Structure 1
Amino acid sequence: MTVTPAALWRHATFRRLWLSDAVSTLGTHVTTVALPLTALTVLGAGSTGVAALTAATTLPYLLLGIPAGAIVDRLPRRAVLVAADVARALLLASVPLAWAAGLLSLAQLVAVALLAGCATVLFDVAYFAAVPAVVPAGRLADANTRLEATRAVGQTAGPGVAGVLVGALGAPVALLVDVASFVASALFLAGTPRLARSSAPGAGGMWRDAAGGIRFVFRDPVVRALTLCSGLTNLWQAGFLAMLLVYAVRELRLPAATVGLLIAGANVGYLLGAAVAGQARARLGVGRAVTWAAVLQAGAALVLVPHPLGIAAGLAVNAFASGLYNVNAVSLRQAATPPAMLSRMTATSRFVIWGAMPLGASLGGVLTALAGAPTYLALASVGMAAAALVTRCSPVWRTRDFPTSADRPAPAEADAAVPVGR
């Protein structure tokens, strides 16, 4: 099922995908603030505990990332999406329940983050492969612009809602917003028509299919460069955001509600970045827009200005660069991939991109303990910008527009060793 250029918003399946993403993103960004603040303010965790919690959230991309695409190809895509939402709702609901009973522990928070992360891996692979199956290649950038703009609104509103709820009711209660968002997302997705798989499982088995995804990602120069650039960015970004909370709460003595509101206000930058992604692509070409967006991450160092406005400015620059980068990089990666390889490409790329985050969170905790939060935050800002060297020294830099199906190799050419029949 596809959608004509004039009917993107009127297409029922895309609209339900969009609504599900909108509500779950809002809730997720409440949890991004509320979960570590639960560890900090309720359980008295330090930088090591917060780093462990952040690492557990994304560790499933290392544990499950490689086979996730082959798993999704073997299951009804809509069922994967709905089941993942329900699982995450139940897991997060256990936190306020345990807190109310006086049984909450850091070990439970880490376990919830880990298991919910496993559900998120499967959800993301199915979701990001479903969008190109619904939207034609010529409209992918428009669709991703709309999705990223919606996520920007969730990133902006979520931390603010979290800050208000944490201040009024406590961090564990704030997680109920995410529980409700996952329930709503599951209801939207349950009403979609059957989402066709991009390919049928290959005859060689799940691990052979997964290996095909790995070979494709690391043989294709454009997909490889985008994946590595994003992975290196996340290696520093994950620790940066986690240690910024420690820096703001422990060293600058800012109230939790203020931190949530600062993050919310700064995320307006993400919305602006997503909104101008098309203009940057038209002026610079998609490859250079991606590369310069990565360079702009260095502005995150502004958080070291010891004032709430400094934190807001650094986060705003970082968010603007992320919105600009994500719209163009995700669309280019999808457009450069044959349809039969989408699930496995997504799984392998996210193994690298999101799998870098637990490593980065752990690295952030260690370096902060050794050198202090300000030194680490400055180093992380430089590290994020340096990731741009990967795309600058690749064919991405010379890519003016998204490739069409005529520009891509056929699936058999992309990976002749792996059967990829419908």
Structure 2
Amino acid sequence: MRRDSLFFHADFRRLWAGDTASQLGMFVGITAIPLLAAVTLAATPFEMGLLTMAETLGFLVIGLPAGVWVDRMRKRPLMLAADLARGILLLSIPFAWWAGVLTMAQVLVVVLLVGFATVFFDVSYQAYLPALVGREKLLEGNAKLQGVQSSAQIAGPSLAGVLVQFAGAASTVLITGLGYLTSALCLWRIRTVETRPERAEHDRLIPQMLEGLRFVVSDRPLRAIVSCTATSNLFSGVVQAVEVLFLTRTAGLKPAEVGGLLAVSGVGGIAAALCAGPIIRKIGQARSIWLVPLMVWPGALLIPFAGPGWRIALAGLGLAAFGFGVILYNIAQVSYRQAITPDQLLGRMNASVRFVVWGAMPLGGLLGGALGEWLGLTGALWVGCAGEVAGTLWVLCSPLRRMRDLPTGGEIAVPAP
């Protein structure tokens, strides 16, 4: 192992450890909370759509101003506060269940407020990484963090499914809250001194928000990337709204089986994180952004074919293929975004991108709930999976298709295999 690897960067290891805890808790919650709503609280498809909408509504409501506020503040304290808030909010669910007073309304409010805290954490997190490890280490850092996400995507749903079946969904949410509190502890132990961003007295909120949006829109490759991700996320919201109901009510799976199946997408993600460097070096960063989704994302179309018996394997293949493509795509495009953006715009750039790409998800969740009531669970799932794949057209029909590598104004270091 090279001595310049981020394995030897103490503060990155602390960030990595915190990310591991929060990602594991998050993926436990992503499985446990929908199962809580679908199985324990007997939610309707429309209520599941509201739940999906609540998870990401914060990006649509406060995504843009959050970027300005993040650029004006130190990132680590903001991430700490967000982790503490998410942990405490989620712990209220098992306590309410044990007291016999848990309702669907409380679950929706908790998920909504957790989503607002996640806005500040995610915008700060992507703006903090370049300052912590340097721009030349961005691809390696993002690959390692995406690897953690994919590992948690395997362990989290599997663990959640088993715990939901034997301990109950509400009690399982306890792990999600503890994961965020552990992440806060790891962030608190980071020793790198973060300089306070300079702020001019005449800085105003709306002009600064528009500056971040203009930066995103003015770069043609970045504009295509954001449009692709937003389209895919819109229809991912449709899929998320009906997926657990489809697996439990149409495919007839038990909670432990649902968790195991949802974990399969993490297998593809781990494979992508491990081979991201060689693939990106071989085919180029620009081609990684459009060719990989074109070749792999259509695997999602296998998911609606799933059913009782052997047909459930089709959902597993589709989830693994789509997970591989999404993680490899994310490593390439996030590293590009971080590399081309000036330090003083990182928070606003990330917030502008998140406003568009994550802001599409609550709309997709609401649409998915309505489609589930109108077309049925299988019909809504077909619309969602087809829409996810169609997002590729944005990057396929952009200048990226004629490029091998992206013009970053400097070289992005690709980690050795």
Q: 1:252 to 1:305 in 2, by over 3 A?
A: closer
Q: Secondary structure at the match of 2:20?
A: helix
Q: Specify the code of the residue in structure 1 equivalent to 2:168.
A: G
Question: Is it true that 1:359 corresponds to 2:363 in the alignment?
Answer: yes
Question: Is it true that 1:265 corresponds to 2:269 in the alignment?
Answer: no
C-alpha distance after superposition, 1:92-135 (max 9, x if no partner): 00001111111111111110011000100000011111111122
Question: Is it true that 1:216 corresponds to 2:215 in the alignment?
Answer: yes
Q: Distance in 1 between matches of 2:385 and 2:3?
A: 39
Q: Could you state the TM-score of these two structures normalised by the residue count of structure 2?
A: 0.93
Conservation of the 8 A alpha-carbon contact between 2:300 and 2:389: no
Corresponding position of 2:38:
40
Question: Is it true that 1:228 corresponds to 2:232 in the alignment?
Answer: no
Corresponding position of 1:180:
178
How far 1:138 sits from its partner (Å)?
A: 2.5
Q: Distance in 1 between matches of 2:238 and 2:273?
A: 23
Q: Specify the code of the residue in structure 1 equivalent to 2:353.
A: S
Q: Distance in 2 between matches of 1:83 and 1:94?
A: 17
Question: Is it true that 1:86 corresponds to 2:87 in the alignment?
Answer: no
Conservation of the 8 A alpha-carbon contact between 2:229 and 2:357: yes
Corresponding position of 1:332:
336
Corresponding position of 2:284:
285
Corresponding position of 2:385:
381
Q: 1:197 to 1:397 in 2, by over 3 A?
A: farther
How far 1:371 sits from its partner (Å)?
A: 1.4
Conservation of the 8 A alpha-carbon contact between 1:222 and 1:333: no
C-alpha distance after superposition, 1:226-273 (max 9, x if no partner): 111111110111221331211111112211111001111342111112
Corresponding position of 2:415:
none
Q: Could you state the TM-score of these two structures normalised by the residue count of structure 1?
A: 0.92
Q: Specify the code of the residue in structure 1 equivalent to 2:297.
A: Q
Match of 2:111 among 103, 110, 113: 113
Question: 1:69-148, aligned counterparts within 5 Å?
Answer: 69-148=67-146
Conservation of the 8 A alpha-carbon contact between 1:84 and 1:122: yes
Question: Is it true that 1:299 corresponds to 2:299 in the alignment?
Answer: yes
C-alpha distance after superposition, 1:386-407 (max 9, x if no partner): 2112112223334433544459
Match of 1:60 among 58, 69, 72: 58
Q: Specify the code of the residue in structure 1 equivalent to 2:88.
A: L
Give me the identity figure in percent.
39
Conservation of the 8 A alpha-carbon contact between 1:302 and 1:314: yes
How far 1:327 sits from its partner (Å)?
A: 0.8
Instruction: Please say which of residues 369-378 and 56-65 is displaced more in the overlay.
Output: 369-378
Q: 1:339 to 1:375 in 2, by over 3 A?
A: same
Corresponding position of 1:370:
374
Q: Distance in 1 between matches of 2:221 and 2:298?
A: 23
Q: Distance in 2 between matches of 1:9 and 1:64?
A: 35
Q: Distance in 1 between matches of 2:203 and 2:177?
A: 39
Q: Distance in 2 between matches of 1:330 and 1:323?
A: 10
C-alpha distance after superposition, 1:272-309 (max 9, x if no partner): 12222222222221112111232222211212232321
Conservation of the 8 A alpha-carbon contact between 2:22 and 2:183: yes
Conservation of the 8 A alpha-carbon contact between 2:157 and 2:260: yes
C-alpha distance after superposition, 1:349-384 (max 9, x if no partner): 001111111011111111222112222222222211
Measured on the aligned residues, the alpha-carbon RMSD in Å equals 1.9
Q: Distance in 2 between matches of 1:134 and 1:211?
A: 27
Match of 1:15 among 13, 16, 38: 13
Q: Distance in 2 between matches of 1:401 and 1:11?
A: 28
Question: 1:400-411, aligned counterparts within 5 Å?
Answer: 400-405=404-409
C-alpha distance after superposition, 1:33-65 (max 9, x if no partner): 111111112211111111101110100000110
Conservation of the 8 A alpha-carbon contact between 1:199 and 1:341: no
Question: Is it true that 1:321 corresponds to 2:325 in the alignment?
Answer: yes
Instruction: Please say which of residues 245-254 and 80-89 is displaced more in the overlay.
Output: 245-254
Conservation of the 8 A alpha-carbon contact between 1:61 and 1:118: yes
Q: Distance in 1 between matches of 2:106 and 2:21?
A: 25
Q: Distance in 2 between matches of 1:370 and 1:197?
A: 53
Q: Specify the code of the residue in structure 2 equivalent to 1:243.
A: V
Conservation of the 8 A alpha-carbon contact between 2:15 and 2:186: yes
Conservation of the 8 A alpha-carbon contact between 2:251 and 2:306: no
Q: 1:320 to 1:196 in 2, by over 3 A?
A: same
